[in-house]
A and B are shown apart, each in its own frame.
Chain A
Amino acid sequence: MAGVQVANLSRSFGAHKALDDVSIDFADGGFYALLGPSGSGKTTLLRQIAGFDFPDSGRIAIGGESVERVPVEKRRIGMVFQNYALFPNMSVADNVAFGLSVRGEAKATIASEVQRALDLVQLGKLGARRPHQLSGGQRQRVALARAIVTKPRVLLLDEPLGALDKALRVDMQIELKRIQREIGITTIFVTHDQEEALTMSDRIGILRDGRLVQEGPPEEIYDKPKSEFAATFLGDANILRGETTGTGIRLADGTAIAAGAGATLAAGAKASCAVRPERIRIGTDSGTSDPNANMLRGQISKRIFAGNNSTYFVDRDGQTIKVIVQNTGVEKLAEGQKVVLRWSPESTVLIAASQDMD
């Protein structure tokens, strides 16, 4: 087991900068998600760490050892591919045995290690099957067993749950997390599914256009996004734009919005505030309330009922603000109604006007 350090990594394909000066420290034993839209460079980064492709510049170290020029077969990594890539001409057991067998391990050792790995992924009895006789979830488990049986230093997962249906995906998320904890392996997980990144990982790195936008624990990125992109890509966010006052912003119509978190900015610069839809309270009264709370008035343009919660779209000065309200059985607001929105400054994140928003 070992940590992975990536420092100032860059890689271009022709004129396209797939990775642009990316540095991340993947802690030993951690579960790390690389999150980003397609074309963000997350898969390129994973393939660099695996060793399928070499960087133009920068360093990659696994367990303190520089590997950026070491080919994949010598890096001692385990990888699970998006489409599993099981060898169709081999049985399940032979698939899992492959890594040990090319290494020239003794037959008896291979047999017992393979059985242990198959037991770990709860497929102990299916060793004799062929990959095409398995379900999607089972193939996924075989691919995982095959990747970890060689005791790699790091486990790399390239959108491993993308091909599964939703219910199975949730099962596999729990299963994958359990196995990862059990063997304590450093795991780097590429996904474009923000929910998956939030629920599974210790840390998340958000990539965009080959650059690392933000990196940290899921709560931190969710509560304190540093850019409009991070705020809107990981979870939902309302973005209010204006001029900064140093502790908040002033909207075009003069309304002041106070922010309790985020960047420290010089007054007068362009800036925005991000507010999560579930942090906003919605009501009809304008009277008694916390005098420090941010307040906006608007009109409900649309309400979407989703059982345990409702989403309101509130129009205000040409902008639509999204509000999510838990269904407590009390609130009954109709479309067209004039409402007051309130939320605390602590739920408001000040973000510098960014270059990363188109």
Chain B
Amino acid sequence: MATTRILEWCGRLYIWLLLAFLYLPIIIMALMSFNVSPFYQLPFEWTTEWYASLWLNDQLISATWNSIEIAIITTVISTVLGSAASLALYRHEFRGKKALQALLFPPIAIPWLITGTAMLIFFFGVGIGRGLFAILLGHVALALPYVIVVVSARLQTFAPELEEAARSLGANQWQVTSRVTLPWIMPGVIAGGLFAFAVSFDQFVVSYFLSTPGQTTLPVEIYAAIRKGFTPEINAVSTIIIVVSMALMLLTARSFKFGGEK
């Protein structure tokens, strides 16, 4: 009995340590965004000054909006294209299919530093150059393989007879896809979309290579700001982003019950 209780206690301790490891730095950062001292000095004195001054930091705000915009557009484009590609790979046999599938994976493994350099050279070569449009193109290219991998994995659990049954009942290709196949793979599509959003929103390396000084994304802007001298405004903007993105994640997870569907 006693050993069971000790083991149980150890298990709980382990979970708490794990959570602490994941969340402690974030919590400290969030706390410091409310601290008067810009140099992490204690005792803690409550203030919302940094949030107020955040609204006056035009550069940081415009970079945040850029990041959000690019992440949303990247998510939409790469989720739609990636899901369609997964469906095509699932349904059709064609020449070079194996090669195409094999070539979809390496971009995930290639270091972003190299992809970023390659994109910079390529975009200059074809006349796209740098800027927000180049960043968007880059992010879509980075996110696509993730979406295809996740949606394809979900499609592996789909019974092909379901599409045949729908067709035998008179459904055309669009009706089969929208009413039978899509509802089944939706958790995969959502997960793929979240991946795409994360790849874009977190993206520093490729964005850094492709941005111009005035027009940039939040990670690049934060990096630039830190180099100039740290301000707690960074803590403030980071805290806002963490709260919003965690809320989004929890909502999605709740409404789609990942893996819990039969």
Which A residues are within 8 Å of any B CB, using their own CB? 50, 52, 71-74, 76-79, 81-83, 85-89, 98-99, 102-103, 132, 146-147, 150
**Chain B contacts for A74, CB-based, 8 A:** 170
State whether B171 touches A77 (Cβ < 8 A): no
State whether A73 touches B183 (Cβ < 8 A): no
State whether A87 touches B180 (Cβ < 8 A): yes
**Chain B contacts for A50, CB-based, 8 A:** 168
Give Cα distance in the complex from A87 to B168, angstroms. Answer: 13
State whether B170 touches A76 (Cβ < 8 A): yes
Which of A79, A82, A88, A98 interacts with B171 by CB under 8 Å? A98
State whether B161 touches A83 (Cβ < 8 A): yes
Chain B residue nearest in CB terms to A97: B169
Kindly supply a per-residue 1/0 record for chain B positions 171-185, scoring 1 wherever the CB is within 8 Å of any chain A CB and 0 otherwise.
110010001100110
Chain B residue nearest in CB terms to A130: B262
Give Cα distance in the complex from A290 to B168, angstroms. Answer: 59
Given contacts A102-B175, A132-B262, contact A85 B159 (CB under 8 A): yes
Number of A-B contacts (CB under 8 A): 65
State whether A81 touches B165 (Cβ < 8 A): yes
Given contacts A73-B171, A99-B170, A132-B262, contact A89 B164 (CB under 8 A): no
Interface status of B104 (Cβ within 8 A of chain A): no
**Chain A contacts for B184, CB-based, 8 A:** 88-89
**Chain A contacts for B97, CB-based, 8 A:** none
Given contacts A87-B180, A88-B262, A132-B262, contact A52 B164 (CB under 8 A): yes
The SS class assigned to the B binding surface is helix
16 A-B pairs, CB-CB below 8 angstroms?
A72-B168, A73-B172, A79-B165, A81-B164, A85-B165, A87-B165, A87-B180, A88-B162, A89-B184, A99-B171, A102-B169, A102-B170, A102-B171, A146-B165, A147-B169, A150-B169
State whether B180 touches A83 (Cβ < 8 A): no
Interface status of B167 (Cβ within 8 A of chain A): yes
Kindly provide the distance from the CB of B159 to the nearest chain A CB, expressed in whole angstroms. 7
State whether A102 touches B172 (Cβ < 8 A): yes
Give Cα distance in the complex from A146 to B164, angstroms. Answer: 13
Give Cα distance in the complex from A85 to B175, angstroms. Answer: 16
Kindly provide the distance from the CB of B30 to the nearest chain A CB, expressed in whole angstroms. 40
Interface status of B166 (Cβ within 8 A of chain A): yes
Given contacts A88-B184, A89-B184, A132-B262, contact A99 B169 (CB under 8 A): yes
Kindly provide the distance from the CB of B162 to the nearest chain A CB, expressed in whole angstroms. 5
Chain A residue nearest in CB terms to B184: A89
Closest 10 CB pairs of A and B: A99-B169, A85-B161, A85-B165, A89-B183, A79-B168, A102-B171, A73-B167, A72-B167, A102-B175, A81-B161
**Chain B contacts for A85, CB-based, 8 A:** 159, 161-162, 164-165
Count B-side interface residues using an 8 Å CB cutoff. Answer: 18
Give Cα distance in the complex from A103 to B170, angstroms. Answer: 7
Chain B residue nearest in CB terms to A101: B179
Give Cα distance in the complex from A71 to B170, angstroms. Answer: 10
Give Cα distance in the complex from A79 to B180, angstroms. Answer: 17
State whether B165 touches A78 (Cβ < 8 A): no
**Chain A contacts for B166, CB-based, 8 A:** 87, 98, 102
Kindly provide the distance from the CB of A11 to the nearest chain B CB, expressed in whole angstroms. 17
Kindly provide the distance from the CB of B163 to the nearest chain A CB, expressed in whole angstroms. 9
**Chain A contacts for B172, CB-based, 8 A:** 73, 102
State whether B164 touches A150 (Cβ < 8 A): no
**Chain B contacts for A103, CB-based, 8 A:** 170
Kindly provide the distance from the CB of B167 to the nearest chain A CB, expressed in whole angstroms. 5
Which of B159, B164, B168, B262 interacts with A78 by CB under 8 Å? B168
State whether B164 touches A98 (Cβ < 8 A): no
Given contacts A102-B175, A102-B179, A132-B262, contact A87 B162 (CB under 8 A): yes
Kindly provide the distance from the CB of A16 to the nearest chain B CB, expressed in whole angstroms. 17
Give Cα distance in the complex from A88 to B162, angstroms. Answer: 9
Chain B residues 132-189 with CB under 8 Å of chain A are: 159, 161-162, 164-172, 175, 179-180, 183-184
Kindly provide the distance from the CB of B260 to the nearest chain A CB, expressed in whole angstroms. 12
Kindly provide the distance from the CB of B75 to the nearest chain A CB, expressed in whole angstroms. 23
Give Cα distance in the complex from A88 to B169, angstroms. Answer: 16
Kindly provide the distance from the CB of A245 to the nearest chain B CB, expressed in whole angstroms. 53
Give Cα distance in the complex from A337 to B171, angstroms. Answer: 67
**Chain B contacts for A132, CB-based, 8 A:** 262
Kindly provide the distance from the CB of B169 to the nearest chain A CB, expressed in whole angstroms. 4
Chain A residue nearest in CB terms to B183: A89
Sample of 19 further A-B pairs with CB below 8 A, known A76-B170, A83-B161, A85-B161: A72-B167, A73-B169, A74-B170, A77-B168, A78-B169, A79-B164, A79-B165, A85-B164, A89-B180, A89-B183, A98-B166, A98-B169, A98-B179, A99-B170, A99-B171, A102-B166, A102-B171, A102-B175, A150-B169
Give Cα distance in the complex from A83 to B164, angstroms. Answer: 12
Give Cα distance in the complex from A78 to B262, angstroms. Answer: 26
Give Cα distance in the complex from A86 to B169, angstroms. Answer: 12
Chain B residue nearest in CB terms to A143: B165
Give Cα distance in the complex from A135 to B183, angstroms. Answer: 23
